[in-house]
């Protein structure tokens, strides 16, 4: 039939006559009412490309040339509307999905640590409703719209990826039961059962011979074996608790073990007389706070001393990459911070260009973010050298582990008053042990000792920083 139509169109016939003759040729016995509902596909040869037209033939009328939208086109339109609909919106427009946000370029998934909201709770826009724990930080999942939590889709402890739906929010709150998920179903509702179930639950007649036979066949169990005097007495299992490791703890464990397996670590020690640095802080602490709005601590002095040491010994700031050595022309100091969730290491960028006040402000800001869990991935990325202050916990001496991909780490310890010989006299001095763990594949003992000696000289006499000596 299509071939007939194409030949007639090519010969210059009109569409109306062609269609009527074609329909009469194919189905001469079809009534007008039946023909009126039939659709015809026309492929005009004279056009540059094929077009599809749906025509309706009315009794006594000519064929119209306007396309008619049928059920297929309306279905396609509905699909397109869904594709272009607002993100997270349901078909009714009232339900909104809360999904896991983008967590960083180096983070592909996380663990749903806990929900901050329950079904039935009211939430505002951007209000946190759950926390995702990653290898580095804890990320909040915020509500995309204001409304009421309708359903929690995911479960705590489940591994989720960016875009994963964890909850459904109703913007109007209609049809949401304001009941926490931990609340149990009332006992009255649970006790209700159908008459058929009650018939099945009727107790069956007891057989009196079973207990008697069981007693006759019952054999007394042998007494438990006696423990020998040398056998260790292990504590009962009910006094132990098994708790899964957090993602942050697993990440820290992996990195530290990789560091131990990769680096040829060696630690060298020295001791520092803290008298002059402590006196400097005591003399200027009030004026420092008044001008800069932050307290003068000891960490800024050690950061400045580390910067001076790295500038004198650039190999400490370098790192091995395959068969090459990468020398860094910048100094980013990482500060190890212990938090309730684990160890994090925020970075002070361009520490060589900062003064005491700027360093103290940056340390305070990063420490607060680390403890409240709001620190970002970018604030912990990178770093060319690390300082770990175990002295805040009372550590007297330790051997810190290198934080890869760095090549060395400085360990600070507690300040203890010890008798020291000064000018031929034995006097009490506030002393601190310092330790430098370094990668012996790259750094020789000479450079390590010179670096640690520079730390000692600058801390014991901060005036060296002003004179650059």
C-beta separation of 147 from 178 below 8 A: no
Distance CA 167, CA 117 (A): 10
C-beta separation of 434 from 271 below 8 A: yes
Distance CA 342, CA 338 (A): 6
| Beta bridge partners of residue 411, listed in sequence order | 388, 435
Residue 440 annotated in active site: yes
- 414: number of Cβ within 10 Å: 16
Distance CA 279, CA 290 (A): 18
- Residue at token pair 């640690």: 452
Angle at 468 between CA 467 and CA 469, to 5 degrees: 95
C-beta separation of 457 from 464 below 8 A: yes
Annotated active-site residue in 444, 457, 461, 468: 444
In 3D space, the residue among 338, 347, 469 whose CA is nearest the CA of residue 405 turns out to be 347
Annotated active-site residue in 440, 457, 461, 468: 440
Distance CA 234, CA 232 (A): 6
| Beta bridge partners of residue 326, listed in sequence order | 319
Strands 95-99 and 319-321, by their bridges, are unpaired
Distance CA 319, CA 326 (A): 5
Whole-angstrom Cα Rg for the chain = 39
Residue 43 annotated in active site: no
Largest CA distance in the chain: 129
Angle at 37 between CA 31 and CA 38, to 5 degrees: 90
DSSP for 393-415, written as a single string: GT-----PPP-TT-SEEEEE--E
Tokens for 355, please give them: 């003064």
Active site residues: 440, 444
């Amino acid at each position: 039939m299509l071939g007939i139509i194409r030949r007639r169109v090519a010969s210059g016939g009109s569409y109306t006559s062609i269609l009527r003759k074609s329909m009469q040729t194919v189905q001469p016995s079809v009534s007008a009412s039946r023909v009126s509902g039939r659709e015809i596909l026309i492929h005009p040869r004279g056009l540059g490309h094929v077009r599809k037209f749906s025509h309706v033939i009315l009794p006594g009328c000519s064929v119209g040339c306007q396309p008619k939208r049928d059920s297929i086109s309306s279905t396609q339109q509905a699909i397109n509307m869904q594709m272009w609909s607002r993100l997270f919106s349901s078909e009714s427009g009232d339900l909104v999905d809360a999904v896991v946000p983008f967590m960083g370029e180096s983070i592909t998934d996380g663990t749903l640590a806990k929900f901050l909201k329950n079904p039935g709770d009211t939430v505002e826009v951007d209000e946190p409703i759950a926390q995702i724990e990653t290898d580095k930080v804890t990320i909040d999942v915020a509500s995309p719209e204001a409304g009421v939590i309708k359903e929690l889709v995911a479960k705590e402890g489940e591994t989720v990826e960016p875009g994963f739906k964890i909850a459904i929010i109703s913007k109007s709150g209609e049809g949401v039961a304001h009941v926490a998920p931990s609340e149990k179903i009332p006992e009255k509702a649970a006790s209700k059962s159908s008459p058929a179930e009650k018939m099945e639950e009727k107790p069956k007649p007891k057989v009196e011979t079973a207990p008697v036979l069981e007693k006759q066949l019952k054999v007394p169990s042998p007494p438990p074996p006696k423990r020998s005097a040398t056998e260790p007495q292990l504590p009962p299992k009910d006094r132990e608790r098994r708790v899964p490791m957090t993602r942050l703890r697993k990440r820290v464990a992996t990195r530290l073990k990789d560091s131990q397996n990769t680096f040829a670590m060696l630690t060298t020690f020295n001791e520092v007389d803290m008298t002059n640095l402590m006196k400097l802080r005591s003399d200027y602490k009030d004026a420092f706070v008044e001008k800069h709005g932050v307290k003068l601590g000891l960490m800024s002095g050690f950061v400045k001393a580390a910067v001076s040491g790295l500038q004198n010994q650039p190999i400490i700031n370098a790192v091995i990459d395959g068969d090459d050595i990468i020398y860094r022309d910048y100094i980013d100091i990482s500060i190890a911070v212990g938090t309730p969730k684990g160890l994090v290491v925020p970075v002070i960028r361009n520490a060589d260009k900062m003064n005491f006040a700027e360093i103290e402000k940056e340390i305070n800001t990063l420490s607060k973010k680390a403890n409240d869990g709001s620190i970002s991935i970018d604030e912990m990325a990178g770093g060319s050298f690390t300082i770990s202050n175990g002295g805040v916990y009372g550590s007297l001496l330790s051997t810190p582990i290198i934080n890869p991909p760095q090549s060395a780490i400085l360990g600070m310890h507690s300040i203890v008053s010890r008798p020291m010989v000064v000018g031929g006299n034995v006097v009490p001095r506030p002393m601190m042990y310092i330790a430098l763990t370094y990668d012996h594949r790259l750094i020789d003992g000479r450079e390590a000792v010179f670096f640690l000696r520079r730390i000692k000289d600058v801390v014991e006499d901060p005036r060296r920083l002003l004179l650059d000596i």
